[in-house]
Amino acid sequence: MTKKRSLIGIGLLAWVAACGTQCGLEQNDGGAGNLRVLITDKPYPFEWIEEALVTITKVEIRRAGSSLCEEQCDDGLYCNGFENCVDGECRSGFAPCADGQFCDETIDICRDLCESGADCDDGLYCNGAESCNLETGECRPGTPPCETDLFCHEDAMSCTDLCSVDAHCEDGLFCNGTETCDTGTGECQDGQAPVCGDDEICDEDADACGDSEPAAVSPFIVIFEGERTFDLLDLQNGRSDLLAEAEDLPAGHYNLMRVYVTRGKITLKDDAGVFNLTVPSGAQTGIKLHFDFEVPAGGEATLILDVDLSRAFSAIPSGHIDDPSTIENFHFSPSVAMRLINVLEAGNIAGLVTAEADGSPIAGASVTAYDEDDNEVTSTSTDDDGTYVLSGLVTGAYRVEFSASGFEDGQVLDVEVTAGETTEGVDAALSASGG
């Protein structure tokens, strides 16, 4: 017998990031509302990981239908072309890639379908060795060889904490000046910030001093900017943390979120290894998540950023494996491992997995939900007490499968989920496997 309870408020921590003036938008006549963005994770089927960190430096959302043709039509997406303004109306762009190519939005490039890693190699040491996904023909970016606090020297193909050229020190920001490298000491020198007039501010987007009031409204709103690091292992089985919260946003329809993930870190248990990972162009392009949602006037919308750890971090050379001594590094691909969920449009399934013989909880059991078309929707694994939560399920009926080492598989059919609620009591008692 299953029962239901409210989904709102499960696993939240009070961590607020005020929107303030960085939102970049005036309130419109449609009123204003609030937005909360939580972050959660699916369990990773690799028991040797002690810590899995991701660092996020900015989150921004885009308003749909912004009438800003005179100032901006481009939606910031490479793969649908560059939009422009014609006779006061925004016109769609043309897709940049030819037939037989795929478009990589994360690094803004068209690539031919690959047949081997050699087809993907760009010959650069400092962004790692690219590989080929033989199933899709898509090139995978390499993992940069240097830790985050080291400089990569392309000519010498080495990592060091000493700079050799100004480019090693430049952070790409206009408003704090141009950083330089003291080649005598190998140390980076801070830049000199530009001097703006009394009635001016430094405009990072325009790379110039300008009026203190923005001349035009941007369709993008920054709802978090700074630096936050999350251990994804702490955010499993329905647990979540607050990534961003913004108040007094213009009410209405939004259709894009960009999440700027700049680095990750995997620490293996028993001192088996530490891997510091970076995202090529992560601080410049962001991970683009197309998702339609409404900010209600006088109300609040809550979104969940669901990260699939098993896809974000893939061990080299063979995915996820049982012997950590064979791991050389990790592919860090957060762009393929994130999805957004609207709390008001999704529900949960929760339950307990035990051993049929004595009723003891089974930790680490795999739990997977399938929709009515037998498509896998989401998965998780049980905590030490045998409990689990499957989150982010739209209203409908699901089949839930259970598996654990040393036990026969089990399933529960026709589990009904209602948006905004948790269907509880979807339990399984697994019998020991023979032999």
| pLDDT tens readout for residues 258-313 | 899 988 999 988 888 899 887 765 666 678 888 889 999 999 999 999 888 877 88
Q: What is the mean pLDDT of residues 304-325?
A: 77
Which has more pLDDT, 354 or 210?
354
Range of the domain at 307: 14-66+217-344
Q: What is the DSSP string of 183-206?
A: TTTTEEEPPPPP---TTEEEETTT
Pair 336, 229 in one domain: yes
Neighbouring-strand partners of residue 289: 257
Give a yes or no: residue 104 inside a domain. no
71 versus 188: the higher-pLDDT residue is 188
pLDDT of residue 145: 86
318, 344, 370 - which closes a domain = 344
**Rounded to two decimals, what is the model's pTM?**
0.58
Residue, of 334 and 67, whose pLDDT is higher: 334
Give the CA dihedral 307, 311, 316, 318, nearest 10 degrees.
140
Structure confidence by residue, pLDDT tens digits, 93-124: 778 888 777 777 766 778 778 888 888 887 88
Give 374 or 149, the one with higher predicted confidence: 374
Are 337 and 227 in a shared domain?
yes
Domain boundary among 344, 370, 398: 344
pLDDT reading at 7 higher than 50: no
In terms of Cα–Cα distance, which of 106, 35, 59, 24 is closest to 226? 59
Whether 339 and 350 map to the same domain: the answer is no
- Domain total in the chain: 2
**Per-residue CA distances from 344 to 66, 110, 129, 130, 418 (Å):** 25, 37, 42, 40, 10
Of 310, 344, 378, the position where a domain reaches its end is 344
pLDDT at 81 over 90: no
What pLDDT is stored for residue 168 in this prediction? 82
Q: How far is CA 73 from CA 84, 106, 257, 294, 416, in A?
A: 5, 20, 17, 21, 43
